[in-house]
Amino acid sequence: MLHHQMQSNQITAHALSTSFLLTLANLTHTHNLSTVLLNPSTLPRPAPPKPSQTDTAHAAPPPPPQQQQYQPPTPPSIFASNKSVPALGSVWGPFLDLHLLVGKMPRGKADARVVYGDGGRVRGKMVGVVEVGADRYGGRGGAWGTFLEGEKGLRDV
């Protein structure tokens, strides 16, 4: 529902999700709970077309550039080649203590050749991958590990 709301009215959706997340964060901390929020991924929307030269000839001059704050580079991600983005945007970021990215990747080089060399059809051995996208308290951002799913649950690879 929120995803649909974000597509039709981003301001209302942002206000609604912020109120919800503040309440949820308060309940989680007050009652010492662990809360898991799932945010599926989707492919990003295409960028809007750039204005033509005739449009820019009559446009107001751009504002002067503002000084940028230095931001240290983010560590490289195991998911760097993944083009997906969070479906609900980055609204949740300030409210979460731990961000985990979960996906599947080929297990080894030979599996990657099969998966990516065959038109993207998945026939090689795949493993689950979990990466810490951000960690408010532990500094584990960028750490990752692999796992296999089996009849007895998950196991480390």
Condensed to tens digits (0 to 9), the pLDDT of residues 80-129 reads 777 777 777 667 777 788 888 888 888 888 888 887 775 655 566 889 99
pLDDT digits (tens, 9 = 90+) for 3-43: 555 566 778 877 888 888 889 989 999 999 998 888 888 88
Going from N- to C-terminal start, the domains of the chain cover: 90-157
What pairs with residue 105 in β-bridges?
A: 127
Sign of the CA dihedral running 21, 27, 32, 38: negative
Is 0.85 surpassed by the pTM of this model?
A: no
